Structure 1
């Protein structure tokens, strides 16, 4: 590539910066140049092409028709160059800066044990956690990493599977003392259930017996909530039986606040995902956080790879 070609590439990048920032002076500040040097680069670009790219006034800049077409190519070139720089930086940088993370309310309890060692190891890394059961827009909320459960809608975001949580049928010891354990699948339909309020028509379940036979089941919750933590609290309070996430109930089972019913049966699983707003090379803070989450989840009871 000739020196003239290198000069043209530089001028194209300067032109793209002028359009992006809206003025010569703003582009000059972003590029570490003087406004006159920026203006000269744009004029030389126009002179070499024999066209006018920008209409200039004392108050604003406006692209000409050919300038709009030319800018699209210049902007694509600048974006490709930035991506190449980001890939190099991501391969060598240490986790640092602010990691903005989103997770359902019920998963909040797992953040400290999962990411605590990472934060201790890298003092320059900061965490901002947003807990919300609603699926927020990652771009609008400027989220670097979101924890999601279940099927994911089609989107331009990148998703990495962290594992799968098993559903366990649980009840409080006091409730079992009063009502006893259900004897068969048919008896399950008559129980007071605690479940998600957003399920239309009740809970539709697929049970699998120890010998592999599948049993479809539909039950109508008597107590309902849109929050898994609230469902677990109502179950521990003796209000009924519930399907609870294996990763959430281990401590309650050990402490005797809950009892797992029919442990030899399968009540299904729920996939866990790490979702990021970009598919390109991830910054080190995101990569390390995903690896830490995977390592933590892998050692939890009832979580499958």
Structure 2
């Protein structure tokens, strides 16, 4: 069947070019090879398709009808190739992005210039803190932070987010402001769910000092935004990304703690299915995110 489809395409090119030699030039072969393909197609079909004279070729009645299907097949193949080339070379179609809840609001400013410059590009944003099935959801690009799970997807580093200790003013008024890392052990903690309420908190301080504290979480959640809201409500201390809490800090809903001590920053990555054949919409989106993360770009990651 595959060989027959190839011969049908050869016939369509022969008619399109008006000669065996013309078809040979287009196909990058010899006129003799083209003629052999046409003859074999006629043997396969059991009917004469072309009448050959010394000056020109003419389709028989059967060849005329058969050629219509061959030409349509060739046109469909060319159209498919053009569409694929467009996807490869220009950002068009639907870009499906997966993002954690807390970071999703920053994707608008980051991707707005790309969408404005490319009217043929649309965006579908899948917001979820859970590790969804990226293949099932047909995700083109997934934003992830921190340690990445083992995966066949490829990680493109975009930047990093500084982490800080935060609490609400009302909570600190009731429980006191920690002055040293050790003071944190007596406070209530809010943490992302990780299977255990206890976790080791690593803090980096002046002169390269490192403190590791075993803290017990009173509240856990699989949603970073919910943790921030509970932190603002005065339920305890939480480790937050500076990007997430920038507005809350400015508004006074949260207060940074131990300004000279910080948890390690979280790397920010764009995960894509394959490293070698990314469509243009994905390549352009990664570059747009990198520009947004750059120090000279919009203030997203300090």
TM-score under structure 1 normalisation? 0.68
Compared CA separation, residues 230 and 190, structure 1 to 2 (3 A): same
Q: Secondary structure of 1:189's partner?
A: helix
Say if 2:111 is the partner of 1:111.
no
Equivalent residue, structure 2, for 1:232: 228
**What residue number does 1:22 align with?**
none
Asked whether 1:219 is paired with 2:228, we answer: no
The CA distance in 1 between the partners of 2:8 and 2:254, in whole Å, is 63
1:171 offset after TM fit, Å? 0.8
CA deviation after TM superposition for structure 1 residue 131, in Å = 1.1
Task: Identify the residue that residue 155 of structure 2 maps to in structure 1.
Answer: 159
Query: Does 1:253 pair with 2:249?
Result: yes
Q: Would the alpha carbon gap of residues 280 and 262 (structure 1) be closer, same or farther in structure 2, given more than 3 Å must change?
A: same
Q: Does the 8 A contact of 1:99 with 1:286 survive in 2?
A: yes
Match of 1:174 in 2: 170
1:203 aligns with 2:199: yes
C-alpha contact (below 8 Å) 1:246/1:301 kept by paired residues: no
SS class of match (1:220): strand
**Number of positions where the alignment pairs a residue of Structure 1 with one of Structure 2:** 235
How much does 1:201 deviate? 4.5
- Aligned residue among 85, 90, 97 for 1:94: 90
Computing the radius of gyration from Cα coordinates, the structure with the larger value is 2
Q: Structure 1: any 5+ residue segments left out of the alignment?
A: 1-6, 15-36, 45-81
User: Equivalent residue for 2:30?
Assistant: none
CA contact (8 A) 1:102 1:130 kept: yes
Q: Which moved more, 1:179-188 or 1:210-219?
A: 179-188
- Unpaired runs of 5+ residues, structure 2, are 10-37, 46-79
Correspondence list, 1:59-138, <5 A: 93-138=89-134
Please give the alpha-carbon distance, in whole angstroms, between the structure 1 residues aligned to 2:149 and 2:141: 16
Secondary structure of the corresponding residue to residue 105 of structure 2: helix
Kept in 2, the 8 Å contact 1:11–1:41? The answer is no
CA drift at 1:290: 0.9
Q: CA RMSD in A?
A: 3.1
Q: Deviations over 1:189-232 (max 9, x none)?
A: 11011112224251211112212111111111112111111111
Is 1:141 paired with 2:137? yes
Q: Is the CA contact (8 Å cut-off) linking 1:206 and 1:267 kept in structure 2? A: yes
Closer/same/farther in 2, CA of residues 167 and 12 from structure 1, 3 Å limit? farther
**Residue of structure 1 equivalent to 2:238:** 242
**Aligned counterparts of 1:190 and 1:298: Cα–Cα separation in 2:** 38
Report if the CA contact (8 A) 2:99-2:129 is conserved.
Answer: yes
1:252: Cα distance to partner? 1.0
Instruction: Select which of 251, 260, 263 maps to 1:264.
Output: 260
CA distance in 1, matches of 2:159, 2:195: 24
Distance (whole Å) between structure 2 residues aligned to residue 165 and residue 154 of structure 1: 21
Distance 1:233 1:43, change over 3 A: farther
Give yes or no for contact 1:163–1:297 (8 Å, CA) kept in 2.
yes
How high is the TM-score relative to the length of structure 2? 0.69
